[in-house]
Amino acid sequence: MRLGVCTWIWTAPLRDAEVLALAERARRLGFDVLEVCVEDADLVTAPTLVDARERTGIEYSVCGAFGPDRDFAHADETRRRTAGAYLDRLVDLAAAVGSRHVCGPMYSAVGKERLLAEDDRRAEWERMVAELRAAASRASEHGVRLAIEPLNRYETDLVNTAAQGVELCDEIGADNVGLLLDTYHLNIEEKSVGDAIRAAGDRLFHFHACENDRGTPGTGHVPWAEAFAALKEIGYDGQVVIESFTPAVQEIARAVSLWRPLDATGDDLAAGGLAFLEQSLA
């Protein structure tokens, strides 16, 4: 497995001017992977990422941010088109910089929490299946996979569990569509973190190693031994990325309900989490 860290630990929105310094920082801390969180596709360009990769040897994961205007489930066609155009740009970026995938909760906008009638919910589901099937077809032309992330109930009412994620992947029916599972969300939604990982099986394209409070991995109560045993059981050999946030970035903090500082600075959280992951996976 290749161990990584996401740019949201330090900044948002990510800009070209920050890329090289963050790639150097990630490598200096000991990471193999920098997860590039692209809120605005106009601010991060492939040549800059490629240059930083060549200078540092860093590997990339491309992650999307899906706000209200980027919503494949919405009845408004404009929002669906906006989501498609944005995801296509991330796919182009991933192909250009050598990322294995584009990851994130790309099925809908984050922060939708509603009690919908069953007919309305099914209509949303069918729209996101159709849109993601088309997006997956376009991504396959570039050799890029889509790693769809289930989120906890406080961030979405559409896809909360690994089982729902597998169902969505099956309905999309594309070989390049799989899941990103995140231990923060698994810890809230699943009866068993290990069973959820095993349910994903070979559909698991990407993995986020996050503590129950989104602080330093290994300092909380996520059942890490169970998670690592399940990853080994399914033969997962992809990237394992630490994702966290800063309350100083208000839009992101609001989206993930982060109202107080976490237990460490960005560098300390990343370094402490990496040490824990290396020791545990060894």
Which residues have a catalytic role annotated? 149, 243
Q: 203 to each of 76, 176, 238, how far by Cα in Å?
A: 30, 9, 12
Reference 183, options 277, 65, 253; nearest CA is: 277
Structure-block tokens of residue 185: 């969300």
3-state secondary structure 23-51: HHHHHHHCCCEEEEEECCCCCCCHHHHHH
- 66 burial (CB, 10 Å; 0-12 / 13-18 / 19+) is buried
**Side chain identity at 103, as an amino acid letter?**
C
Preceding omega of 261 cis (within 30 degrees of 0): no
Q: How many CA atoms lie within 13 A of 41 on its CB side?
A: 20
